[in-house]
Structure 1
C-alpha cells in the first residue's frame, strides 16, 4: 500500500471514535493488528492493539503509545496506522490486562 498519498491525522483527530477498529501495519506493510480501545491515563495517550488471532479470537492485546503509531487517513476516508514494529515484535510485548 502506498501511504505517501495518505493524510496524517492531527492531534485533535486522535480520538477513540476515529481510531477504534483501525488497522495497524508494520514496517513490512503487513497487517500487525487492530486498535481495540484507547487509554488516556498518564502523560502519553496509549492504544490497545490486538495482535494476531482471527477476527479478534486468539489475539493478544498490547499497549502502544500513540506517538509510536503514524495514524493516517486514505483517499476513501479510512483510518489506519503504521509502526516500525513487526507482528512478531508486538507479540513479544507484555499482554495488556484491564
Structure 2
C-alpha cells in the first residue's frame, strides 16, 4: 500500500474514538495488528494492541507511544497506522498490563 498521499493525523486527533480499531501495518506493509485501546490522548498517548499469535491465541499485549506510530487516513477516510518495527521487534517488547 502506498501511504504517500495519505493524510497524517494531528496530535489532537489521537483520541480513542478516532484510532481504536485502526489497523497497524509493519515496514513491509504486512498487517500486524489493530489498536485495541489507548491510554491518554495526543502525542503522549500509549497505544495498546496485541502482537503475534493466531486469532488471539498466543498473542502478547504491548504498548507503544502514539509518536512511535504514523497514524493516517487513506483516500476513503479509513484510519490506519504504520510502524517501522517488525513483528519480532514488537514481540520483544515488555508485555503491557492495564
Q: Using the TM superposition, give the Cα deviation of residue 30 of structure 1 relative to its aligned residue in structure 2, in angstroms.
A: 1.1
How many equivalent pairs are there?
Answer: 97
Contact 1:23 1:31 in 2 (8 A): yes
Gaps of 5+ in 1: none
Contact 1:25 1:82 in 2 (8 A): yes
Q: For residues 1-98 of structure 1, what are the structure 2 equivalents within 5 Å?
A: 1-40=1-40, 44-98=44-98
Contact 1:23 1:35 in 2 (8 A): yes
Q: For 2:25 and 2:79, locate their aligned partners in 1 and report how far apart those are by CA, in whole Å.
A: 11
Q: For 2:33 and 2:83, locate their aligned partners in 1 and report how far apart those are by CA, in whole Å.
A: 10
SS in 1 for 2:34: strand
CA RMSD, Structure 1 to Structure 2 (Å)? 1.7
**TM-score (norm: length of structure 2):** 0.89
Q: Using the TM superposition, give the Cα deviation of residue 10 of structure 1 relative to its aligned residue in structure 2, in angstroms.
A: 1.1
